[in-house]
Structure 1
Amino acid sequence: MMSADRLTILYVEDNEMLRATIVEYLEELEHPVTPVRTAEEALQSLETDHFDVLLTDVSLPGRSGIDLGKHALERYPDIHLILSSGHDVSGTAKDMRNTQCLAKPFDLDRIDEVLESVRQSLRAGQS
C-alpha cells in the first residue's frame, strides 16, 4: 500500500464529463486514479490491481454501483467503498463495511472530506 496520504482510487462513472473532471481533481491531489465507465470494467481492474478506494456511481449501465460495491467488499475486504448517488443510499450503505456515501451533486471539498476519513481509517488500521 502507498503512504497513508496517497490513496489508489478506482473511479467508476459513466458520465464522461464528470469522470474527466473528478479524475483531473484527484490527480491534482496526487492520488493515483484508474477511471472506468462500467462495473464490468471495474471488476477487471480490481482483478489486476490493488486499490485503497472504490469510488463508484450507483446508477451505471448494466450492473449497479451497489452490486459492484458488495462484490468488491466480499472479494477485497480491505477496500474502502464510496457510493456516489443523486438518491439517498445511506440505508443500503450503513449495512456495508468500509462504506460511505457521497451525495450528488457534490463539490470537490466533499470529496476531500470523504477521502480524509478513509485516510484516517487506514492510519488507525481499521481497514
Structure 2
Amino acid sequence: MRILYVEDHEELRETIGMLMEGEGRSVVLCESAEQGLAQDSKDPFDMVVTDVSLPGLSGTEFAHQLLAKNPARWVVLCSGYELGTHAQAWGPNVRTLLKPFEVEQLDALLQEVELALASGRNSVG
C-alpha cells in the first residue's frame, strides 16, 4: 500500500511517517498540499493522510481536489478540532483523525484501508 502523508510540521511529519511504515507499506512525506498534488499526479497513492491546517492550499481543499478526480479515494483528514460527519459526506472512504491521536487509532485506519484494497474495493484509478 502506497501512502502519501502531508504535514507541515517537520518533527510530526517524520514521526508519523515512521509509524505508518510497515510490511507492504511505503510512505512518501510532503510538507505542503501543493507538493502532495504533484506527487499524487505522477502515480496516485492508495491512501492520502493530510493535516487540515496547511500553509497555502489547505488540507481540506487538497482533499476536495483529490476526490474530484476519484470520489472513492481513501483520504484521512487530521485536525486539532472536531470535523464531525461533515468530511465523511465527501466520499465513502473519507475518514478523520482528531489530533492528538493514538497510534492505535492510526493503525486501525491503516488496517481498514489495507483490507479494503486487498478485497479489491475502491482501488485508486
TM-score band, normalised by shorter chain: 0.7 to 0.9
* Deviation string, structure 1 residues 10-42 (Cα, Å, up to 9, x no partner): 000001000010111222x13201100001001
Q: Which whole-Å CA distance do the structure 2 matches of 1:42 and 1:16 have between them?
A: 15
Q: Which whole-Å CA distance do the structure 2 matches of 1:76 and 1:41 have between them?
A: 19
Could you say which residue in structure 1 is the equivalent of 2:114? 119
Contact kept in structure 2, 1:52 and 1:78, CA below 8 Å: no
Could you say which residue in structure 2 is the equivalent of 1:91? 85
Could you say which residue in structure 2 is the equivalent of 1:110? 105
Q: What is the deviation of 1:78?
A: 4.5
1:63-102 aligned within 5 A: 63-97=57-91, 98-102=93-97
Q: What is the deviation of 1:89?
A: 1.3
Q: What is the deviation of 1:95?
A: 1.1
Contact kept in structure 1, 2:20 and 2:107, CA below 8 Å: no
Q: So what's the TM-score if we normalise by structure 1? A: 0.87
Query: Alignment partner for residue 31 of structure 2, among 27, 37, 59?
Result: 37
Q: Which whole-Å CA distance do the structure 1 matches of 2:42 and 2:66 have between them?
A: 13
Q: Which runs of 5+ in 1 are unaligned?
A: 1-6
2:21 equivalent to 1:23? no
Matched residue count: 120
Provide the alpha-carbon RMSD of the alignment. Answer: 1.4
Identity rate, percent: 38
Q: Which whole-Å CA distance do the structure 2 matches of 1:66 and 1:32 have between them?
A: 23
Q: So what's the TM-score if we normalise by structure 2? A: 0.88
Contact kept in structure 2, 1:12 and 1:42, CA below 8 Å: yes
Q: Which whole-Å CA distance do the structure 2 matches of 1:15 and 1:45 have between them?
A: 18
Q: 4+ residue runs of structure 1 moved beyond 6 angstroms? A: none
